Amino acid sequence: MNTPPPLTALDDRLHPPATQDRWWTETYWFSFDQPGEDISATIYPLFRPNLGICSLGVFVWDPTAHEPWRVPYARNYWHLAMPSTEATELRLEGLSYDCLEPLQRYHVSYHDDGLIDLDLEYAGMRPPHAPAIAKGVGHLDQPCSVVGEVVLRGRRVKIDTVGMRDRTWSLRAEDRRNATAYTYGHADSYNQFLVLTTLDGNNGSIVGGVFSGYLVRDGVHAGLVDATRRVVARRDGYPTRIEIDATDTLGRRLEAVGTARNRLANQANASQFAWMSMMSWNVTGSNSLVGEDQEVWSPDRLGPVLEGLGTR
């Protein structure tokens, strides 16, 4: 396998489209999951420069509700003009991204008058995991410490936790059919995992290759060579208990059982519905981890299989 080129400060900016295809897409996602309050957030700009448009979703949720119209905050703009600012100093409908240190530190703020004020600093806990950059196409994942506060209709919530950011720049057509899961947990910079699987009902497995995920144990990072994700309990369609088994390139095993602490029904775009759940992970031979499970379906795929997932 060819070694991907190293990331540089330019990878914090929007990448030149590798094709003139209208579906060339770049995303710039930040999240956090705060135990105690069991409050989570997803901040998700998506850019389609060949069409001259972008979108923005900002959601904050907790255990009280999962419907976008009932969670503490939900806003989804699907048709915005491409911003005039770069991604390193992005200004978009109340959202500000500022790169404080390339590939490492970011200031993220968001304001919606009277509804929410969000002020956070993200610091990478490890360098970005980016094994799949070639020919102008790429993806990276970076677990981060997250510090700051969120003010929701006057209620202040201190944030001091872990989160994730990722970037993807590639073709992403709106008519694609999708059934995948993006699952991760963090204890600290020394103990983490990320597992990406394709779904078959309540089961999932990695296809193999660079997008499979990684394991960090005792500070040692290695990619995965196999993994399975099993949903062993659901309620009203969303996962409540998940089992992960994986093996990394060093032969180390990951066995984790996760329990959902909240969930959001999130329609990020026309082809992508996700159950987004904050998870507590019990990992064999390790500390407890906090993270998230994102079970992503194309709506036309989820509908026909929903009854078979064991909902009630």
Q: In this model, does residue 172 exceed pLDDT 60? A: yes
Contact criterion met (CB below 8 Å) for 270 and 46: no
Return the minimum-mean-pLDDT range out of 10-19, 116-125, 149-158, 232-241: 232-241
Closest among 42, 190, 214 to 126, alpha carbons compared: 190
164 vs 284: which has the higher pLDDT: 164
Report in angstroms the alpha-carbon separations of 33 from 30, 173, 251. Answer: 11, 29, 30
Model confidence pLDDT, tens digit, residues 117-153: 999 999 999 999 998 888 999 999 999 999 999 999 9
**301 membership: H or E segment, kind and range:** helix 299-305
Contact criterion met (CB below 8 Å) for 285 and 209: no
Collect all residues with Cβ–Cβ distance below 8 Å to 38 and sequence separation of at least 6.
62, 63, 261, 262, 278
pTM, entire model: 0.95
Q: How far apart are CA 127 and CA 103, in angstroms?
A: 7
Mean pLDDT for the chain overall:
92
Q: How far apart are CA 164 and CA 166, in angstroms?
A: 7
Closest among 59, 123, 56, 61 to 94, alpha carbons compared: 56
What is the pLDDT confidence band of residue 207, given thresholds at 50, 70 and 90?
A: low
Query: Right CATH number for 23-172 from 2.40.370.10, 1.10.8.100, 3.40.1640.10, 1.25.50.10?
Result: 2.40.370.10
Question: How does DSSP classify residue 62?
Answer: -
Q: How far apart are CA 281 and CA 289, in angstroms?
A: 5
Model confidence pLDDT, tens digit, residues 261-300: 999 999 888 788 999 999 999 998 777 899 999 999 887 7
Question: Phi/psi of residue 270, each to 5°?
Answer: -60, -30
